[in-house]
A and B are shown apart, each in its own frame.
Chain A
């Protein structure tokens, strides 16, 4: 297999029913096993890109394509993309009162089984316990309602827990580091690293404002997004330069 894990070509998108494109021709290739950091100022379109990859219904793709493992996913529903192996760790995860994390994850794991295939209930429980330990979560956490009354840190940890249980091929982490104190950040980063170690083919697109998390998760490639396009790509040192010099040195890309 030579095609990249994720290949985005000329992607343009806007909020459904509104004028004005937020993504204005994004090109990005992410190979299996790579960690890419996506940085950029507020409003540059980073989170929109994450949601469009996951299939958020509020956005309309006007041009371009998203190939995942060589297949165009734009026509797929969000659940189909998830089952295909795409995972989005939300910046603002939804609260689902009345539904426990265990019940939610059990249903999600079930949705991946073929018709007639039986779920290994004990295996699921073991996996859940193990992943919760890895993320230093209290065992009682599984019985709590999904994100209901969670602190910011708990919500982010819960996102990584779901990623750990669902084992996607691609994890898109949308500002998973924001709102975390340094200890929580280390736990979350270690969780992501452990997932990368366990699955060498795992691709990660790490969207962040700050270089801080890149001290704990080593990126292979750093992209900078400006005004809806990738303005610059480089190695890990690009993040240092951004931290030192900000974004001003980057040319606003000319609109085509």
Chain B
């Protein structure tokens, strides 16, 4: 339930801004139209407040949307890639393609020629709007956010000036992941980016979406949306690796639609930024479909991470399994709020939901709110959540081998995370995620 209040944003995120933005762009009509409609929707909707369950632990009124400059960046020039991106690309690891986006706008894109020849499409969303308007339209229509996410989703679409589009045709199995970098460099702005991933029947694809910035002096907001669609028997592995610098507040809304016998894995890794919110919805549309929803986070300082999930079983005989694990230290805080919803017709559903939290400091705080809403009568569902600390016996054992308390705690966090990492199917993807986590946690 959202309550009507005047958020801070309306005052300055004004229609004039939007018109200026839109006027400065040459974009396909489909996109221009969709953005204008989204802007209207955004201005009409109230800001969600802490009175709503979905936003109880994350206060949007504390985000200074009003002071931010909305950015739909102009078409990219051939600037050099950010050093951080070059550094990651310089390391070994196979890739089928690379996309670099600045404030959402595609600045660099490459796809292995052999992969391109197999019919795989990797392009900006604006190009896709001209070349594959139907695929795009269907996917965006499918991604209907719940009432609590609507306001930010509308802003996301209104400001969307780019994002990438990845489409894998029937039966094509990609040998290596696509690696996308969403780079934010302009402090004091709000920008929007999108990941569009679709696989036709029998397609196999893995994607790493990496979100990054330097530490930014002024408050900066990054909006992200993902639409992930798998048709019959498709296999999709999607990783969102959030390692923004400080100063960034990030809101990501991810929609998965799993068709018949498809197998979709989403993995959210949250490490950076001041505030990070992810709303992840998996809709099991086809019988026999499977959705694995994974997440890891490590929060320190005063970082606040908020994860909302929905496992929506719309079809019978489908399987969903959620495992979210987070560790916090200093004054870090996190929220997990998850719902398994089983529709009346979704008999023989198998749905699981587990959230585990490890607190390393007195000042850290985790909230866990798992939930079930089941209308079918022949289902197997379970949910559970724990909040705990490291065991003294383990700590002493590690310290007796010379590890400092900090090293011992951090190694125990790795151990705690390993179960989730082990569930990423592709080794190259796993290696990159592990590396990023090691960098954040340090040892």
Residues in A lying within 8 Å of B, measured CB to CB:
54-58, 77-79, 81-83, 87-88, 90, 93-99, 103-105, 107-108, 110-112, 145, 162, 166
Contact = CB atoms under 8 A, between A and B. Distances in A.
A144 B419 CA distance: 13
Interface stretch (B158-166, B259-267, B402-410): B402-410
A98 B402 contact: no
Interface stretch (B25-33, B65-73, B146-154, B390-398): B390-398
A113 B411 CA distance: 17
A94 B402 contact: no
12 contacts: A78-B396, A81-B400, A82-B402, A94-B398, A98-B419, A99-B415, A103-B411, A103-B414, A104-B398, A107-B407, A108-B398, A162-B401
Given A56-B396, A112-B402, 19 more contacts: A55-B400, A57-B392, A78-B396, A79-B399, A79-B402, A94-B394, A96-B411, A98-B417, A98-B419, A99-B415, A99-B418, A103-B411, A107-B403, A107-B411, A108-B398, A108-B403, A111-B403, A145-B418, A162-B401
Contacts of B414: 98-99, 103
A97 B408 CA distance: 13
Chain B interface, DSSP helix/strand/loop, else mixed: helix
Contact of B399 (A77, A104, A112): A77
B4 to A, nearest CB: 47
Contact of A111 (B393, B407, B412, B419): B407
Contacts of B412: 96, 99
Contact of A57 (B396, B402, B403, B443): B396
A166 B416 contact: no
Given A57-B392, A99-B411, A79 B400 contact: yes
A111 B415 CA distance: 18
B403 A96 contact: no
Interface of B: 391-394, 396-405, 407-408, 411-412, 414-419, 443
B413 to A, nearest CB: 9
Chain A interface, DSSP helix/strand/loop, else mixed: mixed
B5 to A, nearest CB: 45
B394 A96 contact: yes
A98 B403 contact: no
Contacts of A79: 399-405, 408
Contacts of B408: 79
Contacts of A162: 401
Contact of A78 (B399, B415, B418): B399
A111 B405 CA distance: 11
Contacts of A93: 397
Contacts of B394: 94-96
B245 to A, nearest CB: 26
Nearest to A79: B399
Contacts of B400: 54-55, 78-79, 81-82, 87-88, 90
Given A79-B399, A82-B399, A107-B443, A98 B415 contact: yes
A94 B408 CA distance: 13
Contacts of B402: 79, 82-83, 108, 111-112, 166
B118 to A, nearest CB: 35
Contacts of B419: 97-98
A82 to B, nearest CB: 4
